[in-house]
Amino acid sequence: MAESAKLIAIAFVRAINRQNVEALADLMTEDHRFIDALDNQFEGREKMRAGWDAYFRMVPDYTIAVEETFCDGPVVVMLGRVRGTYSPDGSIKEENRWQAPAALRAIIKENKVACLLRQRAHASANGKARLSLPHVTSLSVPKVRDPHEQVLVRRVQDRPPRPIPSFPIP
């Protein structure tokens, strides 16, 4: 399961990098959930199809560079960078270009992406960006509430979050 989950998550990222909304929609479950870095949640394949289409018009060169991938059953965590150029009027200007470290977590269900979560990045005192996640001792995906909905459960030890390797901020 882990290897096929990884392939599905990577295919999803490739569809994002090609800005192929139809391929993205084909890789989403009907009840797909997207949680952005600001913790905004969006549900439903059709809502996300329209959302990605609008986002690609606003950031036409948006890409995700995955540097590391970790899998545990249907859960795939991808670490890397996101970048793009904010282009509200359709023109790409260098001063509107941005990039940031990112952690993405995908939950795969029935060979499709059921949930995609983009974690926030934080800047450390030395000017480098880092991603902080709690110390995770194990991952599991039990069924809860609705037998079709799966959520990630993290068992967290009583110790402070540890940083994931730093990425310099340009």
Residue 152, Cβ density class (10 Å: 0-12 exposed, 13-18 middle, ≥19 buried): middle
Q: Which of 54, 136, 58 is nearest to 98 (CA)?
A: 58
Question: 2-122: which CATH topology?
Answer: Nuclear Transport Factor 2; Chain: A, (3.10.450)
Residue the block writes with tokens 């009027």: 89
- Give the pLDDT of residue 52: 95
Tell me how far apart the alpha carbons of residues 139 and 99 are, in angstroms, rounded to a whole number. 29
For the chain, which residues make up each domain, given as ranges? Answer: 2-122
DSSP 90: S
Query: How does strand 143-144 pair with strand 41-43?
Result: unpaired
Q: How many helices (H) and strands (E) does the chain have?
A: 3, 13
Share of the chain above pLDDT 90, in %: 59
Q: What is the mean pLDDT of residues 115-122?
A: 76
Report the pLDDT value the prediction gives residue 48, as an integer from 0 to 100: 95
What average pLDDT does the segment 45-69 reach? 95
Q: What is the pTM of this model?
A: 0.71
Q: How confident is the model over 10-31, as pLDDT tens digits?
A: 999 999 999 999 999 999 999 9
